[in-house]
Amino acid sequence: MKIDGKNQYVMTLIMAAGKGTRMKTNKSKLVHKIYDKELVKRVADLAKKIGSDEIVAVVGHLRQQVQEVLGDNVKYAIQEELLGTGHAVMQAKEYLKGKKGKVVILYGDVPIIRKETLENLISKSIKNKEYATLLTAIYENPTGYGRIVRDEGGNIKAIVEEKDADPLQKCIKEINSGIYCFDIEELVNALDYIKPNNAQGEYYLTDVIKIMNDKGLKTGAVIVEDNTEILGVNDRAQLELLTRVFRMRINAEHMKNGVTIEDANSTYIYDDVEIGVDTVIHPNTTIKSGVKIGENCELGPNAYIRENCELGNNVKIGNFVEIKKTKIGDNTKVPHLIYLGDCEIGKNGNIGCGTITCNYDGKNKHKTIIGDNAFIGSNVNLVAPVNIGDNVLIAAGSTITEDVPSNHMGIARERQTNKEKKNK
Ligand code: UD1
Ligand code: MG
């Protein structure tokens, strides 16, 4: 990858072998999702986003499930026995050996770290010529984490695990996130010196810091600004917490970009959604990944905008409307109680209340194409595949099974008869 204009080899190693005992799950913890993406997939995607030259996942417990999710986008090292984080990295030695550059260590269950934070970590590591650069954080309650021990000059001396820490060290509030950027060659050298002589009888990756310092190799740290980034998922409550943090982060980003969100607490915008300025989102709206929304639109309340939707400008998607794989042109209104799937609608249209596309025949999905200036009356069934031209009016209550040419009205319903009541 290119860092500050220079070419640099960077591998990312994802630690993904651990058990998720506290999740109380029959599945691998790592295949649980935040929004629509598995935890470990989020981490692998992040590794890709920062431009990693190679991504290796250390897998073990329920590894088939993890491998199914990651596929061949990454390489795998297998850790048969969970003997600690240092041991996990040792299993990836065959990928590390002989390479010159940096390796970033990530955890498969720490999924909402920002791309910019990792880029900053790598670039600081290179700029400061450090052999190990740690991502640390200041925690008011550091219990459970490895503590960062610094000397009087502020240089990092070692990481001490909670279970090995003395009472004084336990008071240290700077903690190890477990995310690092290492020089590959010196990491490989240091791995040979890690011994499991500690309270947990594990091979600690954290020992590498002291090993490097003893050898006179420079180490350093970057303190993360936003502590929520390094949160991990160990149980369902943490999964909910991280989902919430992630959601609020995305919502905040859209608001910063000029989108009005009436109630961020009840707005669910997935990753990689584009929304134009002055669009207003009412409560209980869900917008799935990859959706593109123009400017000055109005969405919700209770709108469900699913995958592969594209909305132009000034589009209204009102309450109890679900749309999927649907493109809608400028100024078209889809105001209430509507389902549109696999649909394309032109500009300046109005779709009546209760309209649905019948897009699924039980086996396949079919398209509904509607031109510009459509006026679709209330409670219309559009039985796909069907083409509706420009300037078409569809009478309320119609079940449309055949194409309607431009400038026509389509009507398909029983004629009303009024019968006199016999027993008045
Ligand atoms: C580790 C750090 C600790 C840090 C903390 C942050 C060590 C010794 N300690 O703690 O300083 O504050 O992370 O969360 O590294 N894993 C494997 N194989 C193993 C063991 C772990 O793949 O044999 C994976 C786990 O699945 C997890 C990650 O490595 O994703 C960290 O393991 P975990 O046991 O949570 O961390 P600690 O060892 O408690
Ligand atoms: Mg552990």
- What's the confidence (pLDDT) of residue 35? 97
Give, as one character, the DSSP assignment of residue 27. Answer: S
pLDDT at position 82 is 96
Residue 178 clears pLDDT 90, i.e. is over it: yes
120 backbone dihedrals φ, ψ, rounded to 5°: -65, -40
Q: Read off the pLDDT band of 167 (50, 70, 90).
A: very high
Q: Please, what's the b/e burial string for 49-66 (b: 16 or more CB within 10 A of its CB; e: otherwise)?
A: ebebebbbbbbbbbbebb
The dihedrals phi and psi of 366, each to the nearest 5 degrees, come to -125, 160
The per-residue pLDDT for range 29-52, each reduced to its tens digit, is 999 999 999 999 999 999 999 999
Cα 120 to Cα 3, 133, 304, distances in angstroms = 10, 11, 36
| Distance in angstroms (rounded) separating the CA atoms of residues 290 and 45 | 15
- In this structure, which amino acid lies at residue 262? E
**Number of other residues whose CB lies within 10 A of the CB of residue 24:** 9
Beta strands in 44-113 (DSSP E): 54-59, 75-78, 102-107
- Is the distance from the beta carbon of residue 174 to the nearest atom of ligand 1 less than 6 Å? no
Please count the residues of the chain: 424
Token output for 323: 């749309």
Ligand 1 pocket member 346 (CB < 6 A): no
Distances from the Cα of 69 to the Cα of 12, 15, 33, 45, angstroms: 17, 15, 11, 11
- Closest-lying ligand to the alpha carbon of 39? 1
Closest-CA residue, ligand 1 atom 13, reads 178
Confidence grade of residue 3 (pLDDT, cut at 50, 70, 90): confident
Does the C-beta of 149 come closer than 6 Å to ligand 1? no
**Structure token pair of residue 103:** 């390796």
**Would the CB of 377 count as within 6 Å of ligand 1?**
no
Cα(392)–Cα(390) distance, integer angstroms: 5
SS (H, E, C) 188-233: HHHHCCCCCCCCCCCCCCCHHHHHHHHCCCCEEEEECCCHHHHCCC
Of ligand 1's atoms, which has the minimum distance to the CA of residue 18? Answer: 26
Predicted confidence (pLDDT) at residue 424 exceeds the cutoff of 80: no
- Residue 336 appears among annotated catalytic residues: yes
Do 70 and 41 contact (CB within 8 A), yes or no?
yes
Cis bond leading into 196, ω under 30°?
no
Total-model pTM: 0.95
Q: In the numeric block, which tokens belong to residue 145?
A: 């984490």
Q: How confident is the model at residue 72 (pLDDT cuts 50, 70, 90)?
A: very high
